[in-house]
Amino acid sequence: MSYIQLKGLCKKYPNATKNSVTDFNLDIEEKEFIAFVGPSGCGKSTTLRMIAGFEEISGGELYIDGKKMNNVLPRDRGIAMVFQNYALYPHMTVEKNISYGLKNMKVPSDEIKRKTDWAIDILGLEEYRNRKPKNLSGGQRQRVALGRAIVKDSKVFLMDEPLSNLDAKLRVSMRNEISKLHRQLGSTTIYVTHDQVEAMTMADRIVIMKDGVVQQVGKPMELYDHPVNKFVAGFIGSPQMNFFDVTIEGNTVKFADGKQMPLSENIINQLGGKTSGLILGIRGEDIKLDAQNLEVYGEGKQSAVVENTEVMGNENNLYFTFGGAVAVARVSKYEISQVGDSIDFTFVPSKIHFFDKETEECLF
């Protein structure tokens, strides 16, 4: 049996016209790291709060370690939660913030000291032990919030966008800290974020949500390579996947601006005879400008004019109008193009996706 089970979980607030979360089903294994991602208002934090017991479950069932938790008080669910705003006591030192929860739980003083010292050591907070939150950086405050959670010996950790208040450099550092801490503790972790990079780099599996409904659950690269619909394809990956309205005539795909590209017999067959109401999707890194790919896939060669560039250091993003849409190619830092340059490019056929325009489901 899975360690945490969410069976048809629903949440509807009083006077609301629709559910905030609808029919959420998920089995989470012990020691697994799960990320909930999606745009603001998609229901990911609401689901986390139902698991924590801070929100009443409107429908469905929640089990932790085989025990039904729908009506169990938060303090009795065996979980620890880390919030976005840290929620540290400003008048207490780092040591007292970390140990305060244990004192409330009437833990013996010698055990409190042992656990607090362990958390301070594992989180690298020794030199800040006697400082108060106002004298700490954002990253240090976040580590104190983590310390307060890990001393409780909880088997389940819930984290609600804990890094969103940090700058970019600190987020990268803290992603590594949290991943390392997860492995050391062997805990089951559910992590809510709107940042798909955090989810891709940290989680064993990702749950993508939209409008309170789970869109897809899978390992990071499964979602990246095999999205079930256009929303998932566009949400995972940066820059997002390119999308073009197309029709099929014979063995040729026709774009909205009249451009054409040949398709293999294999791709045509996978479309099952569908020729209209199609969206073609391809990721920026699968639009190739180099001589080798242009030679291999020369039949599909296209041309465009660069309208904008983003120099990212290790790579460049080239923006151009093609197929009736603004497209972006993600290329090597050595493939230098300037605004106004004419470029030749081709799509890698095996990386092309097709979506049904009406349902937005991925056809392949």
Residue finishing a domain among 200, 215, 235:
235
- Residues 337 and 309: beta-carbon distance below 8 Å: yes
SS3 122: helix
Residue found by looking up tokens 């959670």 in the block: 149
Amino acid at 16: A
- 115 with 254, same domain? no
Confidence at residue 1, expressed as pLDDT on a 0 to 100 scale: 61
DSSP per-residue string spanning 221-250: HHHHHS-SBHHHHHHSSSSPPEEEEEEEET
Q: Is residue 362 part of a domain?
A: no
Q: Is residue 79 part of a domain?
A: yes
Residue 307: is its pLDDT beyond 90? yes
Confidence at residue 168, expressed as pLDDT on a 0 to 100 scale: 81
- 120 with 206, same domain? yes
Q: Is residue 110 part of a domain?
A: yes
- 180 with 199, same domain? yes
Query: pLDDT higher for 314 or 57?
Result: 57
- 196 with 77, same domain? yes
Confidence at residue 181, expressed as pLDDT on a 0 to 100 scale: 86
Residue 124: is its pLDDT beyond 70? yes
Query: pLDDT higher for 242 or 143?
Result: 242
Closest CA to 35 of 182, 184, 146, 147: 182
- 280 with 187, same domain? no
Greatest distance between any 2 Cα atoms in the chain: 78
Closest CA to 201 of 180, 225, 226: 180
pLDDT mean across residues, the chain = 94
Q: Is residue 346 part of a domain?
A: yes
Confidence at residue 153, expressed as pLDDT on a 0 to 100 scale: 78
CA-to-CA dists, residue 136 to 24, 140, 161, 168, angstroms? 39, 6, 20, 18
> What is the CATH number for 269?
2.40.50.140
Tell me the pLDDT tens digit for each residue of 69-93.
999 999 899 999 988 777 899 999 9
- 81 with 159, same domain? yes
**Structure tokens that stand for 104 in this block:** 């409330």
Cα–Cα distance measured from residue 282 to residue 240, given in angstroms and rounded to the nearest whole number: 9
Tell me the pLDDT tens digit for each residue of 144-196.
988 998 898 788 999 999 888 778 887 888 888 889 889 988 999 999 999 99
SS3 310: strand
- 19 with 66, same domain? yes
Q: Is residue 364 part of a domain?
A: no
- Residues 91 and 98: beta-carbon distance below 8 Å: no
- 105 with 229, same domain? yes
Q: Is residue 120 part of a domain?
A: yes
Confidence at residue 262, expressed as pLDDT on a 0 to 100 scale: 95
The angle that helices 94-104 and 109-122 make with each other, rounded to 10 degrees, is 140
The range of the structural domain enclosing residue 16 comes to: 4-235
- State what percent of residues in the chain have pLDDT above 90: 77
Tell me the pLDDT tens digit for each residue of 281-300.
999 999 999 999 999 999 99
Q: State how many domains the chain has.
A: 2
